[in-house]
Structure 1
């Protein structure tokens, strides 16, 4: 298994490789000039030697840019294709566009920056930053081609793998080709059948979460629902994966910044579970920064690994559990010790397929990231929307009372029969898909459908990043109607479902699509549905406590003038690997009369 403490800074080898490639022509110029000086052929002062070296870099970049445009046009013509529109900045290397994109990521709304030009430029455009070409798209047919119909032509790519390797390693989300197929084949059987034990597990953790909520609300205080539900999903994920719960819900919850009566949380409460949870979040935030600044992250981390200290904590928790699972497997050989299918954890299942500790470490960590953050973020945003739209809250609670009642534990059939509950979750995932941005890389020169079907296909050169945004696609009016930017669960129940979605299902991709579609999709729906049912059984009213929201996490006043849900935001949604609410989601709730 990889040791986080012993690895060299991840940016160093990539940065050295980059510098060697870029400086080789300069070195060649210097060598030629120096040899010429030594032979008496060239007479040039040292200062002009240095100037010549610098100018050779500028000349090389200019030649590369001019030749690249010519070469792309030639290769596109060979395939009977055209190039997409290009977004050009006003400075050399489009530095102004890079600065604008980073500033909008930090201070703007989701989708601000490079994605703003998609509608204006027809659903796909190119942008070149420091000589590196990338495509950006929100077109459903192009995304369908990448994820499904032309799946074999598009991969995650070496660059994505290098960026994520020291965290995701060789796990399923970072793998391509045969390695991805191996992971997929190894994991798929575990997700093909619903397990009753999942609902028992959800109930135990939901019960503790709701008890802690009631304690806080009875004291007249607000609660950060995002923090609480992240602990619920972390405890569920670790028990699901390992049969070894991290018990993060046992620790004290944070208090609002303006709560002057809040007791001092004992530092002893910052147990291994709190440390693990913080490290788990920290490592994802570090990866998010890498993704946002692109290939230049290699220079930022030439001498410091921003994920190392977090990964040391995560691995210290995961490694002993994996070693124990392997020990149990080996000791059980030849003995009549059987674990029922419903009692089997995912790790129990995986050790049947491999004893490689690195593969087991990477795979479980990959699935833990997916299982904890995506579900927690969706539940957080669902509660946020139910607070904003009390009519939706009342309708959902009425369905729960009618179908299940105030006390009964929901089961598989109950959840399947609750159409409005599924509509609320789907509409939450439509407005806030948990992985809003993603990327694929073509393995060779290819084409994708042109958003204008009357025109030739779009040429996509090999090895460039083709970034796509499900978030932006989910809010396109031509796909979802004139009210696409507004919250309305009824769109998944009325005539709009057939008008927009049924004939073009690739306009709704909260769980990816094609061969890489999320294996845990039904598990996530079950977990989210179960928790929402339990929540509304116990609480008859919920509202946002905007005073408890940290000032720096409140939406800027100018958003109020914008169209759609952006103009209604009371919080600031942000992105690391997945969506989250900046500063937490602070709420208050009213307990229900459960005898009613």
Structure 2
């Protein structure tokens, strides 16, 4: 049966029942056969014992055998097992529920960090007796991403969890399929393309005009919503040659404003953005739960309704682009390289609609969500540190002025803006957690000098967190939790980063390094320049839905001082208590006419 007719939960239960029925039936047949050979009749009670006891006994035997096998394999490799989280309930069910429930109101990564503080930078959560390894150790992450790249794949578990959303795109594929997508996409992100800023400028000017309109009304704006619209419009025009035009819809109003926010609810672009975000949330939940996630979707695939909205919006855009290409091919019209969109580029390489759709949706995710995430975090940090904002703005004005559109050379020449962006991505990387799956048994170097290496079994899920790694004081110094762009310009670069470059990985590393890295730097730098040309100050709004609960102030680290709630699905974002209140409400002071004339 097709996936559309069978929910993930039903498929999972069917597989589970078959795995129970066959061993049990086999046991009954063996007992009955042996009994008949010996000439005696088997008691119904014995059959009952076999049927009722085969599954739990078999499962217990499997767990014991797996434990013995792992210890023997580790011993043969001269290694030790990774420190395991020890829960009070069978299968660490209490620990899993604790992480899921605390994640709703806790600081991002805090439940995992608590276990790391006790067990070390690499831990095995061992949910339901299945290994689930998390590491924040740069040498281990280097092994995963670079030095032993072929032993760490996205894997069947992640592919199944993300398939209903990302399909076989570059972020959800391995092997030859991944190579195909990577090879197809790479030529599109070249120097001559990423340095074209006209698209950025057009949409940035529109976003700034919308913000100024609200500020003249003495209202705040949800910057996360505004910048997400900007990146969606820019990315869609850049990738499809078709602007989604999400900036045409009215911006949401603050919770206490008299105006209604209902005007945005029916907007198709807003619906698309919200549906895509909700689908990513579903993937994140599935990954956290592990291979048993289908049990939480017994009745239906929880991404199906969201992807209907996404497909309804995206399919006509892609079909129109394919139609234009078909017409151009019939007329023998050659487009110049500079005029091609990603869809134009892909359609010359394949006619498979699914391949094109999956890849563009994956790249749209990268081009829209990650950039919007970093710019939202950057505005937040500049609002928290007005002295840094002032310094950055002074450098921008001295190099670009108050009105001129920045060029590629301007972006490369303003070193402090790169330092601000790097420091933003260090504290709030757009992809806080990522996942792989091992193929073969292997070992990792011990994070503790003098101890045996760690044994990593084949076929297990391995997660790594650059979010937690970027904040380690032993890697970045005692001020690791502070926002200080100067760490990218002074001796701390030589002291910490150069000897160990894998402590900073906002764009991944190795063969899967982000193809759009320079594109993202250009776009983020361009937007910051345009914003600070137009606004001289940024302040955070006291929106109740934006700020974290009061008890956060009693915690340690950044949690005690944070004024928004960082959360993640596939990417990091500012969590809100309700959709109408948004996630990052700010007010900006517009540049007056006198300053512009000067």
TM tier relative to shorter chain: over 0.9
Cα drift, residue 227 of structure 1: 0.6
CA distance in 2, matches of 1:50, 1:106: 44
Equivalent residue number for residue 117 of structure 1: 115
Deviation at 1:153, TM superposition (A): 1.2
Please report how far the alpha carbon of residue 55 of structure 1 lies from its aligned counterpart in structure 2 after TM superposition. 3.7
Contact 1:237 1:372 in 2 (8 A): yes
Structure-1 separation of matches of 2:44 and 2:6: 41
SS of the residue 2:318 aligns to: helix
Q: In 2, are the aligned partners of 1:82 and 1:457 still within 8 Å (CA)?
A: yes
Pick aligned residue for 2:18 from 20, 40, 59: 20
Is 1:419 matched with 2:392? Answer: no
1:42 aligned residue: 42
How far the C-alpha of 1:332 sits from its partner, in A, is 2.7
Query: In 1, are the aligned partners of 2:203 and 2:233 still within 8 Å (CA)?
Result: yes
Q: Distance in 2 between matches of 1:43 and 1:11?
A: 36
For residue 52 of structure 1, report the CA deviation from its aligned partner.
Answer: 5.3
Aligned residue number for residue 248 of structure 2: 250
Establish whether residue 295 from structure 1 lines up as the match of residue 288 from structure 2.
no
- Tell me: CA distance 1:42–1:351, structure 2 relative to 1, closer, same or farther (3 Å): same
Say yes or no: does 1:181 pair with 2:183: no
* Correspondence for 2:580: none
Greater Cα shift, 174-183 or 113-122: 113-122
- Partner of 1:62: helix, strand, or coil? helix
Separation in structure 1 between the aligned mates of residue 21 and residue 467 of structure 2, nearest angstrom: 39
Q: Which of 545, 549, 556 is the matching residue for 2:544?
A: 549
Q: Structure 1 length as normaliser, TM-score?
A: 0.94
- Residue 339 and residue 445 in structure 1: after superposition, are their counterparts in 2 closer, same or farther (change >3 A)? same
1:22–1:52 distance in 2 versus 1, CA, 3 Å: closer
Pick one of 504, 507, 531 that aligns with 1:535. Answer: 531
Distance 1:579 1:147 in 2: 21
Partner of 2:157: 159
Shift of 1:50: 5.2
Shift of residue 336, structure 1, vs aligned partner: 4.7
Note the alpha carbon deviations across 1:185-237, whole angstroms, 9 max, x for none: 11101112242774100111111101110110110111111111110011111
Larger displacement relative to structure 2 (294-303 or 168-177): 294-303
Q: Secondary structure at the match of 1:447?
A: strand
Give the conservation status (yes or no) of the 8 Å contact 2:195–2:522: no
Gaps in structure 2 of 5+ consecutive residues: 577-582
| 1:342-357 aligned within 5 A | 342-357=338-353
Partner SS state of residue 451, structure 1: coil
Further displaced range: 403-412 or 315-324: 315-324
CA-CA distance at 1:577 after TM superposition: 1.2
Please tell me whether residue 458 in structure 1 is matched to residue 454 in structure 2.
Answer: yes
Q: Provide the rounded CA distance (Å) in 1 between the counterparts of 2:392 and 2:522.
A: 16
Query: Which stretch of structure 1 is more off in the superposition, 369-378 or 108-117?
Result: 108-117
> What displacement does 1:295 show?
2.0
Q: Give the structure 2 partner of residue 262 of structure 1.
A: 259
CA distance in 2, matches of 1:23, 1:400: 70
Q: CA deviation at 1:241?
A: 1.0
Task: State the distance in 1 between where 2:42 and 2:482 align.
Answer: 70
Matched residue SS, 1:353: coil
Deviation at 1:64, TM superposition (A): 2.1
1: CA distance, partners of 2:422 / 2:55: 52
Question: Structure 1's 378 and 158: CA in aligned 2 closer, same or farther, altered over 3 A?
Answer: same
- For residue 65 of structure 1, what is the aligned residue in structure 2? 63
Which aligned pairs between 1:379-418 and structure 2 lie closer than 5 A? 379-418=375-414
Residue deviations 1:348-376, cap 9 Å, x none? 11111111111001000011111111111
Q: Distance in 2 between matches of 1:487 and 1:247?
A: 34
On the 8 A contact 2:157/2:290 being kept in 1, the answer is: no
Shift of 1:507: 0.2
Deviation at 1:482, TM superposition (A): 0.6
Q: CA deviation at 1:495?
A: 0.8
Whole-Å separation in 1 of the counterparts to 2:254 and 2:34? 71
Rate the CA distance shift 1:96–1:208 in 2: closer, same or farther, 3 A.
same
Change in Cα spacing, 1:62 to 1:248, as seen in structure 2 (3 Å) is same
Q: Which residue matches 2:318?
A: 322
CA contact (8 A) 1:196 1:342 kept: no
The 3-state SS of whatever aligns with 1:295 is: coil
Shift of 1:334: 6.2
Candidates 572, 583, 586, aligned match of 1:579: 572
How many angstroms does 1:22 deviate by?
4.6
- Deviation of the 1:275 alpha carbon: 2.1
Q: 1:67 to 1:196 in 2, by over 3 A?
A: closer
CA deviation vs aligned residue, 1:100-121 (integer Å, no higher than 9, x gap):
1112222211112234222432
Distance of 2:463 and 2:194 partners within structure 1: 39
1:116-515 to 2 correspondences below 5 Å? 116-195=114-193, 198-259=196-257, 261-263=258-260, 265-266=262-263, 270-333=266-329, 335-515=331-511
Cα deviation 1:516-575 (Å, max 9, x = unaligned)? 0000111111111111111111111110011x232xx43122321333322210111111
| C-alpha separation in 1, matches of 2:21 and 2:103 | 32
Question: Per the alignment, in what secondary structure is the counterpart of residue 434 of structure 2?
Answer: strand
Q: Distance in 2 between matches of 1:22 and 1:130?
A: 17
Q: Do the aligned partners of residues 488 and 7 (structure 1) sit closer, same or farther apart at CA in structure 2, a change above 3 Å counting? A: farther
SS in 2 for 1:266: helix
Report how far residue 377 of structure 1 moved: 0.8
Deviates more, 1:15-24 or 1:30-39: 30-39
Out of 554, 557, 562, which is 1:569 matched to? 562
**Counterpart for residue 579 of structure 2:** none
Deviation at 1:264, TM superposition (A): 5.3
Contact 1:197 1:343 survives alignment (8 Å): no
Give 3-state SS (helix, strand or coil) of 2:482's partner: coil
Count, aligned residues: 586
Equivalent position SS for 1:162: helix
**TM-score of the pair, normalised by structure 2:** 0.93
Give the Cα–Cα distance (whole angstroms) in 1 for the partners of residues 168 and 236 of structure 2.
20
The change in CA–CA distance for 1:54 and 1:105 in structure 2 (over 3 A counts) is farther
- Partner residue of 1:595? 597
